[in-house]
Structure 1
Amino acid sequence: MDEVVIITGAGTRVGLHCALRLKQQGYRVLAHYHSERPELEQLQHQGIPCLQADLACPEGIEQLAEELRQRCHSVRALVHNASAFETTPDDPAEASALFERFYRIHMLAPYRLNRALAEALNRSQALHSDIVHITDIFADNPNPAFDIYCASKAGLANLSLSFAKQLAPKVKVNAIAPGPIRFKEWHSEAVKQQIIGQTLLRSEGGEEAIYLALQALLDNPYTTGSTIKVDGGRSIAHL
C-alpha cells in the first residue's frame, strides 16, 4: 500500500471514529484491532483493511511491525491510538503485571512500529509524513489511583519528543492529550457528573474532537514536537 494512514486500536471508540472519518476524507486507511467485535463490520464495509494483533505481548508487537513493514511501501501517517485503562491493583504481583502490559501497549508498541515504519514514512510523497501519539492529560498531572497508566502515557509523551528529533525533517511527530472524551460503560452517573463538573466546557468531548485535532496536525506543515490538549479545559480548571 502507498500513502496509507495506519491507526492502531481502531476497533472501537476514538480509533474507529478516526479511521472512518479519514476514509471519508479520502485517505487510504489501514486499521489495527485487538479483538473481534461487531464494530469491525463498519471498517470492512468501507473497504478498510484490518489487521489483528495483541500489543500487550512482544510477539504481537513484532507480528504487527513486520506485517506493516511488508505491506506498506509509503506511509502518510501512523496514529498510535491503541490503549488500555484501569486502576492500579493493590496486590504487588498484579500491579507488576499491569505495569508490563501498559508499558508494552503504550510505549514498546509505538516505539517498535515507529522504527519499523521509519523508511516508509520517509518515502511518503507528502511534504511531511506524520506520527501522532494519543497520550493523556494525566501524563503531566497523574492520578495516584491510575499511577501505572499515567506513567506509561507520560513515557509515550516523552517518546513523541525523541522521535520528533530523530525523524526530522521529513516526519512530524506530535501528540494529542485527551481529557474526558467518552465515558466508559462502567462509569457511574455520579462519577460522570463529577468529571464534567471539573471540566470548563461542562461536557464530554466526543470522538469527533479527537479527529479534528488529528486532522489539524496532518494539515499543518510546521508543527512537530507538540501536544494538543483536547480536554474541555479540565487540565487547567483547578490550577
Structure 2
Amino acid sequence: MRRFSANLGFLWADRPLPDAIRAAHAAGFDAVECHWPYDHDPAAVRDALDETGLPALGLNTLRGRPGENGLSALPGREAEARDEIDRALDYAAAIDCGAVHVMAGAAQGDAAAAAFRANLDYACDRAGDVTILIEPLNHHDAPGYFMSRAEEAAAIIERLARPNLRLMFDCYHQQVMGGDVTRRLERFLPITGHVQIAAVPDRGTPDHGELDYRHILTVLDSMGWDRPIGAEYRDARPTDETLGWLTALR
C-alpha cells in the first residue's frame, strides 16, 4: 500500500504543530513534514511525534527577508545562510527529522551559484545522518528563484558529489516548468530524496488538473519507490474535508 506524508505547512496549518501532527495521524497519514517549525517548542513537537509514531521527514531553512525565499544562494550573506542551516539542523536533531531543505533564494549568476555550492558543502559537512535536500521552484510561484527545473538541481548534485545531498522532486513545480514529469522521474529518481504532489495548475488536492497522479504513482511503484509521498497542496476548505484523494490514491 502506498504511503503518504502530510505537509503541515499547508495541511492543518490553522493548528499548533503538535496538534497538526495528531490530526495527520488521525486522518491516516504515514508521516509528516513541515516548512518552518521554529516557533514551536521542539520538545512538544517530539512528544507529538512519539505519541503518534509518525516520522518527521523534512523541514526548511528560513526564507530570510520578504521576497528572498532563502539565503544560501545570496552572495555576501553566507554567515546568515549558515546560521539558518545550523538552526534547521539543530531543530531536525531535536525532533529526529530525516531531512532539511536548504532554500536557495532569489538570485542568479555565477556568484550566486558559487555561494550556493559553498553553503551546500557546509550543510552536508554539518548534517551527519540528516539528508540535505534542494528543490527547484517554479517561476510563477517563486519569481527569480535560483533553480526552477530538476535538471538544474541535478547538475549541482552531480558537481558536488555529496552522498547526503539529494533532490526534492515536487511534481507540481516540475509540471509547471515544462512538464514531462514521467520521464523526469525516470531520469532523476536515483538522486531523489523526497517526492511531493499537488494538482496543477491550482496546487489543490492531487485528484484533478493536468497531472494524472494515478499514472505518476504507478510509475513510482514500478521504479521501486517505497517512501512516503508528500502531500503539499492548498485548499480553502478545512483539511479534514479535502482528504477523499487519500483513500483513492492508496
TM-score class, shorter-chain normalisation, is 0.3 to 0.5
TM superposition score normalised by structure 2: 0.36
